[in-house]
Chains A and B, each alone.
Chain A
Amino acid sequence: MNTQFKKGALELCVLSQLVWGDKYGYELTEKISGEMSIASGTLYPILRKLKADDYVTTYLVESESGPARKYYKLTEKGKQYQTSVKQEWETFINAVNQLLLG
C-alpha cells in the first residue's frame, strides 16, 4: 500500500479513537492492531507527529502495573482536523464504491 495513504489512514484511525475519550499508547495500539495487521511500533512515531502538530496533547497517569501511562487527548484543532479528514475519507469511500459498481 502507498505509504502516504496508509499513514493518512492510520492518523485518521488514531484521531477517531480519541474522539471517544482519552487513551494511553498501548490501549490505542491494541485497538488498532486488533482491526488491521500493522507493526504496533509504527504507531508511536505517528502519535509523536500528531502531538507535534498540536492535534493531541499528552499527560501522564501513574499506573499500578508499572511505569506511568502516557495518555493522549484530542485538542480542539485535532477535533476539527479529524472531522475534515473523516469527511474526505467518506467522500473517497463513496466514490470508490460508485466506481466498483462500474
Chain B
Amino acid sequence: MNKQEYMKKLQERLESFGKELQEEIMEDYRQHFAEGENEGKSEEEIIEELGNIEEMIRELSEDELPEGFAQRALEPAAVEGQEVTGTQEDTEKFEETEMKRAFSYSGYYKAVVLEGKVADVYVTESENDQIHVDYEAKGVNSQQNYEYYQYEEDGTFYAGVKRKKSIREEGDSDEKMVKVTLFGRTIISYGTIGNVWNSGQSITLTVRIPKGMPKLTAKVGSGNVSVSGVELEALEATSGSGNVGLNDIVADRLKAHTGSGNIAAAHTEFISGALEAGSGNVKAEGVKGRELRCGTGSGNIKGEASVGEYHLASGSGNIKMKAGGNAERINMSTGSGSIKLELEGIQGMDTTVRTGSGGVRIAWNEEEGQKVKNGNYTYGNGACKIKANTGSGSVKIFGRE
C-alpha cells in the first residue's frame, strides 16, 4: 500500500465519525507523513510506523460515542472498592440471612431519584398515591457494608443504597492490606479487603411510584435497572456495568445508558428516546415515538420500531431494524458490522448507501436482488431519507409500500 492508498482508506474509515473529526485526524496523519519524509523515511516506513488503521479506529470509537461512554464503562463496580469486612464471627452470624424492610412515603414530589450502587433497582407503578420501597439484602456483605437511605430535598424524593461507614476503620493497622487503584479501577486488593461479593450476596430495591410522577432517575453501579408500567415526563435509567430494561413505558423524554451491560426497551412510547450502551447490545422492540437514538461501542443494535427519525450507530456491531409506517429519516452507521433494514408502509425512500468492502442490496416492493453500489437511490416518492454507512459490512435494505 502506498501513501495515497493508505490515506484514502483512512478517509473512508473516518467517514462515519463526521467531517470535522475526519479532517482533524487526516491532518494529523498528513503532518506525520510530512515530518517522516523530511527525516528521509520512505512512505512504506511511515505507513508501518503509523500502523494498522483499524487499530486507530478502535481507539477512536471508544471516545467518540455519545456522552462519555468510556467513563461509564470505566466506572468501577462498586463492590470492588470494599475496604474492611467483618470478622469470622460476624460472618457466621450473618450467614444465610436475609433482611427485608418496607417503607411507604406520602406527599407530592416532582421527581424520584434512586441510586442503587451494587443493588438491582426495580421500578413500577404504585397502586395508590404513595411511594413504596422494599429493601432486601441477602448475605453478610450486603448487610454489613451497605444500608438503605432516603431523604427529600426541594420537592425531590431521594432513596438508595449507600456504603456504611466502616466500624473497624481504626485499630486495624497491624493487618496487612493492599488496595491499588489505577486509571480508576481496582487492580489489586488483598489481605482482609476485597471480601468476595459472592453469588449469595444481593441487594434489591423495589420502588413503586405514584401515577403521574413527572420525573424518574434511577442510577446503579454494578446492579441492573428495570422500569416497567409507568407514565412519566422524563425517565433516565443508568447502569455502570449492569443491564437496563424498560417495558411498557410512556415518557416524553427517555434515556437509558449502560457502560458494559445491555439495554432492552419494549412496548415503550416517547417523543425522544436515547438508548446508549458502551459495549453491550441495544434492543428496541415495539417502540413508538418521534425520535429514536441507539448507540453502542461494540455491541449490536436490533429492533422493531415505528418512529419518525432513527439514528442508529454502532462502533463495530451489526444493525438490524424493522421500521414502521411514519419513518422520515433513518441514519445508520457502523464501523465494521453489517446493516439490515426492513421498511413497512413507506411511500418511498431516498437512500444513500456506503460500504467500504461489503455488498449492497436494495429491494423495493418485492423487486428482489438488486445489487447496487455505493451511491444514492430513490424509490417511490422518496419520502423517507435513509443513510447507511458501514466500514466493511454489507448493507441490505428491503422496503414495501
Contact = CB atoms under 8 A, between A and B. Distances in A.
Contact of B183 (A4, A49, A66): A4
A67 B31 contact: yes
A5 B183 contact: yes
Contacts of A67: 27, 30-31, 34
Interface string A70-102: 100000000000000100110110011011000
A42 B187 contact: no
Contacts of A7: 59, 62, 183
B56 A41 contact: yes
Contacts of B165: none
A52 B29 contact: no
Contacts of B37: 66
Given A40-B50, A48-B63, A95-B180, A65 B35 contact: yes
B24 A48 contact: yes
B31 A70 contact: yes
B183 A44 contact: no
Contacts of A26: 31-32, 35-36
B360 to A, nearest CB: 28
A85 B187 CA distance: 14
Given A26-B36, A41-B50, A8 B183 contact: yes
A8 B182 contact: yes
Given A45-B25, A48-B24, A92 B59 contact: no
29 contacts: A8-B183, A25-B28, A29-B32, A33-B49, A39-B51, A39-B52, A39-B56, A41-B29, A41-B50, A41-B51, A42-B55, A45-B25, A45-B62, A45-B63, A48-B24, A48-B25, A48-B63, A65-B34, A65-B35, A65-B38, A66-B31, A66-B35, A66-B37, A67-B31, A67-B34, A70-B28, A88-B181, A92-B187, A92-B188
Q: Which 9 pairs from chain A and chain B are nearest by CB?
A: A39-B51, A8-B183, A66-B34, A26-B35, A41-B56, A41-B50, A45-B60, A45-B59, A65-B38
Interface of B: 21, 24-25, 27-32, 34-38, 49-53, 55-56, 58-60, 62-63, 73-74, 178, 180-183, 185, 187-188
A19 interface: no
Contacts of A66: 31, 34-35, 37-38
The DSSP consensus for interface residues of chain A is helix
Interface of A: 3-5, 7-9, 11, 24-26, 29, 33, 38-42, 44-49, 52, 65-67, 69-70, 85, 88-89, 91-92, 95-96, 98-99
Contacts of A11: 183
A24 to B, nearest CB: 8
Contact of B51 (A24, A38, A88): A38
Nearest to A50: B63
Nearest to B52: A39
A11 to B, nearest CB: 8
A7 B74 CA distance: 12
A54 to B, nearest CB: 13
B49 A40 contact: yes
A22 to B, nearest CB: 15
Contact of B180 (A4, A39, A40, A92): A92
A88 B63 contact: no
Contact of B56 (A25, A42, A52): A42
